């Protein structure tokens, strides 16, 4: 019985060890008070409390959230960690409240990290969270980029990276860790609220596991898709650099050279070009793979092959092929201006 607790402690310590080798800047822990982030906070305090700060985002979406954030602060203080509460006080509207809250959470954490000079933001996403993400994207019809799930790390802002050190650990491991160390933790009622997609998938996952599609296999799919995605992205970046000509008004691509690439590369090159040109004056448009496929596979590539002119708009970008093989991308006029001309 004595070997299991030491093994669990070691697993969390090993997950955090590479982060302690980073340059000596603070790392910010995002702690909600649930078992996953509570385990992260405790393990980080044991690993090197001088390197870590703690922040709790209070979304104010339910009664008692402010008291919950204060409870996290008390435990952080007991562990010798500096704690800050970040409150989301923007107006709530629309049906995508969880997505809005998630976006606000990362903005608040990033701004706070910049304010305290932190180069890393750590979250406690687990193997189970990864499996849910991959399953959601599989249902949505995502390609390799989406099926790669959550990355172990990604850049949030210049000099600030989001890191998920516990993606290989199960939620059961982190609950067991909290219980072993007698750490109080919260249970978020939204985790079982079936109005939300993730909650419904949590009910579905045990049934899939009975057929062999368990969390570990879904996470393994993410690793494999991520590997392929990285190779495709690297090739697409090289092609985009090779075929791009920029002038003051637009981004121009050598379409005749582009169409010699496999469709998977062409899709990524056009996607990256759209991101480069997308106007800042319009709200970000959610990416839809089927819309990009319709543009590239059903319209752009046939037009290039046949020497036809083409004019399309996607994600606030006007895409034109001139019939001679040149593709021109420029920010489309603001939507209101377009609407007035109709």
Please tell me whether 241 is known to bind a ligand: no
Please tell me whether 33 is known to bind a ligand: yes
- Using CA atoms, how far residue 160 sits from 25, 27, 28, 122, 163, in Å, is 11, 10, 10, 11, 10
Query: DSSP class of residue 81?
Result: -
Please tell me whether 37 is known to bind a ligand: yes
The DSSP string of 120-138 is: EEE----HHHHHHHHHHHH
d(CA 40, CA 46): 10
- Residues 6 or more apart whose Cβ sits within 8 Å of residue 63: none
The token pair at 33 is 């008070």
What angle (nearest 5°) sits at the alpha carbon of residue 52, between those of residues 180 and 34?
A: 40
d(CA 302, CA 308): 8
Q: Is 191 left (phi over 0), alpha (psi -120 to 50) or beta?
A: alpha
Could you tell me whether strands 153-157 and 317-322 are parallel, antiparallel, or unpaired per DSSP bridges? unpaired
d(CA 342, CA 339): 5
Neighbouring C-alpha atoms within 13 Å toward the C-beta of 203: 9
Q: Which residues are annotated as a binding site?
A: 32-37
Q: Which residues are annotated as a binding site for ATP?
A: 32-37
């Amino acid at each position: 019985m004595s070997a299991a607790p030491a093994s669990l402690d070691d697993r969390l310590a090993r997950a955090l060890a590479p982060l302690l080798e980073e340059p000596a800047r603070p790392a910010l822990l995002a702690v909600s008070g649930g078992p996953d982030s509570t385990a992260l906070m405790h393990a980080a305090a044991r690993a090197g409390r001088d390197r870590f700060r703690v922040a709790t985002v209070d979304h104010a979406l339910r009664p008692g959230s402010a008291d919950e954030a204060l409870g996290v602060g008390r435990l952080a203080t007991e562990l010798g960690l500096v704690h800050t509460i970040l409150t989301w006080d923007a107006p709530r509207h629309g049906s995508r409240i969880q997505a809005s809250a998630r976006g606000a959470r990362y903005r608040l954490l990033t701004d706070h990290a910049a304010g305290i000079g932190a180069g890393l933001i750590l979250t406690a996403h687990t193997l189970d969270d990864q499996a849910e993400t991959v399953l959601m994207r599989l249902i949505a019809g995502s390609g390799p980029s989406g099926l790669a799930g959550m990355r172990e790390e990604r850049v949030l802002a210049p000099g600030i990276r989001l890191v998920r050190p516990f993606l290989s650990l199960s939620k059961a491991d982190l609950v067991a860790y909290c219980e072993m160390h007698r750490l109080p933790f919260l249970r978020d009622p939204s985790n079982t609220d079936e109005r939300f997609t993730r909650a419904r998938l949590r009910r579905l996952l045990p049934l899939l596991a009975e057929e062999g599609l368990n969390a570990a296999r879904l996470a393994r799919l993410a690793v494999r898709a991520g590997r392929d995605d990285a190779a495709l992205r690297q090739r697409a970046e090289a092609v985009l650099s090779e075929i791009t000509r920029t002038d003051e008004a637009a981004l121009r691509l050598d379409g005749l050279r582009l169409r010699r690439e496999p469709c998977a590369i062409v899709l990524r090159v056009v996607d990256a070009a759209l991101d480069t040109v997308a106007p800042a004056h319009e709200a970000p448009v959610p990416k839809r793979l089927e819309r990009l496929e319709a543009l590239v596979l059903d319209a752009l590539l046939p037009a290039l092959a046949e020497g036809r002119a083409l004019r399309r708009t996607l994600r606030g970008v006007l895409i034109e092929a001139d019939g001679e093989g040149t593709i021109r991308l420029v920010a489309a006029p603001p939507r209101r201006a377009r609407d007035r001309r109709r």
